[in-house]
Amino acid sequence: MSTHFPSAKSIERTWYLIDAKDAVLGRVATQAATLLMGKHKPIYTPFLDTGDHVVIINADKVRLTGNKEEQKIYRHHTGYPGGLVETSARKMRATRPARMVELAVAGMLPKTKLGKRMFRKLRVYAGDKHPHQAQQPVPVSQ
């Protein structure tokens, strides 16, 4: 008996809509990562991209627990000597709120070529408007 592997043509991708208003950042990111990887499907295969598309709205209204608003620091390096840039969560929310959610979801996906392909199916918007109404995204309950 052989194991059935889904082919690229047989994978059906649906669109999901997650409203992050007053939701905890980690919970939203976990839910999105699960949908992007396809772990909610019976055809889930770890080495194939069986996931769906995810649209997250209201990223600017996501909630951080504890003292993370003041204490959490996002770091990246420019590549130049002494080029470490540190940004607090408060400043990140003020300047690029969608990036907070994107970084949280990216940290929960595989760190491979497959994970990068999964991440491309994520769309994050700071407000409650998004241009994906034609795809008829299914709202996900929290």
pLDDT given for residue 1 in this prediction: 76
> Domain segments of the chain: what residues?
15-64+95-139
Q: Give the tens place of pLDDT for each residue, 43-94.
A: 999 999 999 999 999 999 999 999 999 999 999 999 999 999 999 999 999 9
| pLDDT tier, 5 (very low <50, low <70, confident <90, very high otherwise) | confident
Residue 11, both tokens: 């994978």
Stretch 17-40: mean pLDDT, rounded?
Answer: 97
CB atoms within 10 A of CB 129: 9
Structure tokens at 22: 């007053």
| Residue from 73, 69, 125 nearest 98 by CA | 125
Contacts of 94 (CB under 8 A, 6+ apart): none
What 3-state class would DSSP assign to 55? strand
Q: What is the mean pLDDT of residues 97-109?
A: 97
Which CATH code for domain 15-64+95-139? 3.90.1180.10
Please give the model's pTM, rounded to 2 decimal places.
0.93
State both tokens at 83: 């080029």
